[in-house]
Amino acid sequence: MNAVITVIGKDNVGILAKVSNECAQVGVNIIEVTQSVLQGLFAMIMYVDISGCTVPFSSLVDSLTGTGEKMGVKIHVMHEDIFNAMHTI
Amino acid sequence: MINSHDILETINMIDNENLDVRTITMGISLLDCIDEDIDKACGKVYDKICRYAGDLVKTGEDISKELGIPIIHKRISVTPVAMLAAACPTKSPVKFAKILDKAAMQIGVNFVGGYSALVHKGFAQGDYALIESIPEALSCTERVCSSVNIGSTKAGINMDAVAKMGAVIRRSAELTADRDCIGAAKLVVFCNAPEDNPFMAGAFHGPGEPDSVINVGVSGPGVVRAALAKAGDCNITEVADIVKKTAFKITRAGMLVAKEASKRLSVPFGIVDLSLAPTPAIGDSVAHILEEMGLEQCGAHGTTACLALLNDAVKKGGVMASSHVGGLSGAFIPVTEDAGMIDAARSKALTLTKLEAMTAVCSVGLDMIAIPGDTPAEVISGIIADEAAIGMVNSKTTAVRLIPAIGRSAGEELDFGGLLGSGPIMDVNPKSPARFISRGGRIPAPMQSLKN
């Protein structure tokens, strides 16, 4: 079972470290990361495996969204099903 | 692996273009709650709704959080209450409205639909009493919505019901005059009402439906407008293709939500209603899609053609995205619930006569239109009859949701707040159809009904 974490906002030191650390603490395995910084705007897409997640998925959503707010970036955590539904036939 | 462009596109749709799933509506049959003792019947109704839909709101919120897509409303539709009222003819059906309101409050849904009667061919036991009680029921409850089906392509138009509903709409507005006449905003008069519509105020759980069912209404006018804006000056065939592709994506999101809700609540999936449902929020307007197609303002000549294309393309895109499509499915054109329609009505670019033409090609009808407070009941009935005729002849759903603004006249405004929005009071043709309306009887079903 996979999910997608996206981080969009102003670039600042340690965003990737912070999100990865939070994932590791709850058993979320990172499968792939792509990131880019364009004109100071940071966009990271993280593809993660949540089958070993030790907390309910909704708690992971809440904690990462909260982390994003503290760092001044927007973090979305969404189940991969929504992307598969909308973009594949 | 999912393409990054697709991921960012979805997030942009949600964050900036108001993509959402508008409603998860659980339909619940109340046929097994019928009892000649109205208090016993009310007890069964309350218990059944709380038992079946107790987890509806929480389930909707969980799904919304996991998939990351907003699900705005969780609602209930029930068997037309006239069928329950038939068993207890000596009691006022308002008791049922109050118990529905209480159950809606208990489970946390914002609307419950089904204070309804189906009288397209005539009044059965319970129907007349229910219709008479609608104004009181809507004034003494907050969350109850009412609808009456007065015509169909198969049955023709029940003109006795049309005459009655003109007065009922007026009375509903009068009894709630201190609250911007909101009673009338919760009352829809239909021709060809669908039995599985998840959208309010016209939702009810038809007699042909299963014991309970999950219907989902999608939305997304902002997403369609943004996609057209990105495309720039393409030709109209390409416009239709862009609408189709966008509708497909929106509907797939709705279908996913419907499947999840059905699984988690152990209630069968009914349909996805692939409608473009606007809200008064900026960037969530159907009128703005029509303007993006190239109209200076909604209501200009060309509006009906643009709306016809939009309505059709939404269906074509959505129909492949869902295994069962139903409800109203198409583009809604409510005036007070759509920022672009409100502006167009204020500037008089959009008139009631133009709206009537638009209803021949949109998914519903004359919706959320404030009319002068001194409009006589028979003029309202005349508007209902015209609208029902369009639906009957074209084998489509049409509806009338008019709000007589008691004590106010054309040019002033009504403000319901929230989702129901606000808007100017529109001019109505003052010539009287009183003699036509007072004839009563039934307009025979048209040739289109003889398809067997």
Q: Dump pLDDT digits (tens) for B383-435.
A: 999 999 999 999 999 999 999 999 999 989 999 888 889 999 999 999 999 99
Domains in chain B (CATH in brackets) are 23-191 (3.20.70.20), 218-449 (3.20.70.20)
Phi, psi of A16 (to 5 degrees): -60, -45
Using a CB-CB cut-off of 8 Å, the residues of chain B touching A55 are none
Sequence-ordered alpha helix ranges (H) in B181-235? 182-185, 221-231
pLDDT for the residue numbered B212: 98
- Asked if A85 is an interface residue toward chain B (Cβ–Cβ < 8 A), one would say yes
Instruction: Report the candidate in B202, B156, B198 with the shortest Cα–Cα distance to residue B388.
Output: B156
pLDDT confidence of A42, banded at 50, 70, 90? confident
Average pLDDT value for residue range B108-115? 97
Statement: residue B34 has pLDDT above 80: yes
| HSE toward the beta carbon, residue B108, CA cutoff 13 A | 9
β-pairing, B156-158 with B398-405?
Answer: unpaired
Q: Dump pLDDT digits (tens) for B269-286.
A: 999 999 999 999 888 999
Task: Report the SS3 class of residue B422.
Answer: strand
Task: Report the SS3 class of residue B436.
Answer: helix
- CB of B109 closer than 8 Å to CB of B56: yes
Statement: residue B357 has pLDDT above 90: yes
- CB of B101 closer than 8 Å to CB of B112: yes
Minimal Cα–Cα distance from A78 to chain B, Å? 5
For residue A86, what is the nearest residue in chain B, using CA coordinates?
Answer: B249
- Asked if A76 is an interface residue toward chain B (Cβ–Cβ < 8 A), one would say yes
Average pLDDT value for residue range A40-63? 92
Minimal Cα–Cα distance from A86 to chain B, Å? 5
Average pLDDT value for residue range B97-124? 98
Using a CB-CB cut-off of 8 Å, the residues of chain A touching B220 are none
| HSE toward the beta carbon, residue B408, CA cutoff 13 A | 22
> What is the pLDDT of chain B when averaged over all its residues?
96
Bridge partners, A4 (sequence order) = A47, A78
* Among candidates B1, B65, B320 on the partner chain, residue whose Cβ is nearest the Cβ of A47: B1
Domains in chain A (CATH in brackets) are 2-87 (3.30.70.260)
Q: Dump pLDDT digits (tens) for B42-63.
A: 999 999 999 999 999 999 999 9
> Residue written as tokens 């329950």?
B84
- Asked if B69 is an interface residue toward chain A (Cβ–Cβ < 8 A), one would say yes
Statement: residue B287 has pLDDT above 80: yes
Beta strands in B79-195 (DSSP E): 112-118, 144-152, 156-158, 187-191
pLDDT for the residue numbered B165: 98
Statement: residue A45 has pLDDT above 90: yes
The Cα–Cα gap between B378 and B37 comes to 36
Q: What is the dihedral of CA B370, B373, B376, B381, to 10 degrees?
A: 20
Residues 30-69, chain A: which have Cβ within 8 Å of B?
32, 34, 43, 45, 47, 57-58, 61
* Among candidates B1, B4, B68 on the partner chain, residue whose Cβ is nearest the Cβ of A82: B68
Report pTM. 0.94
Q: Dump pLDDT digits (tens) for B289-311.
A: 999 999 999 999 999 999 999 99
The Cα–Cα gap between A16 and B36 comes to 66
pLDDT for the residue numbered B351: 97
Element (H, E) at A43: strand A41-49
Q: Dump pLDDT digits (tens) for B138-197.
A: 999 999 999 999 999 999 999 999 999 999 999 999 999 999 999 999 999 999 999 999
For residue A8, what is the nearest residue in chain B, using CA coordinates?
Answer: B8
Statement: residue A49 has pLDDT above 80: yes
Which of A2, A58, A87 best tests the B interface by mutation, with the highest count of B CBs <10 A? A87
| Type of residue numbered B217 | G
Minimal Cα–Cα distance from A13 to chain B, Å? 22
Above pLDDT 90, what percent of chain B? 94
CB-based contact B10 A87, cutoff 8 Å: yes
The Cα–Cα gap between B140 and B142 comes to 7
Statement: residue B18 has pLDDT above 90: no
Which of B13, B20, B61, B65 best tests the A interface by mutation, with the highest count of A CBs <10 A? B65
Statement: residue A76 has pLDDT above 80: yes
For residue B14, what is the nearest residue in chain A, using CA coordinates?
Answer: A76
Q: Dump pLDDT digits (tens) for B206-236.
A: 999 999 999 999 988 999 999 999 999 999 9
β-pairing, B112-118 with B144-152?
Answer: parallel
- Asked if B8 is an interface residue toward chain A (Cβ–Cβ < 8 A), one would say yes
Minimal Cα–Cα distance from B6 to chain A, Å? 7
Using a CB-CB cut-off of 8 Å, the residues of chain B touching A58 are 62, 65-66
pLDDT for the residue numbered B190: 98
pLDDT for the residue numbered B369: 97
- CB of A76 closer than 8 Å to CB of B68: yes
Query: How buried is B275 (Cβ within 10 angstroms: 0-12 exposed, 13-18 middle, 19+ buried)?
Result: buried
Which of B3, B5, B10, B21 best tests the A interface by mutation, with the highest count of A CBs <10 A? B10
Please give the DSSP secondary-structure letter assigned to residue B188. E
Average pLDDT value for residue range A67-74? 92
Using a CB-CB cut-off of 8 Å, the residues of chain A touching B252 are 85-86
Cβ contacts from A onto B, under 8 A: 64
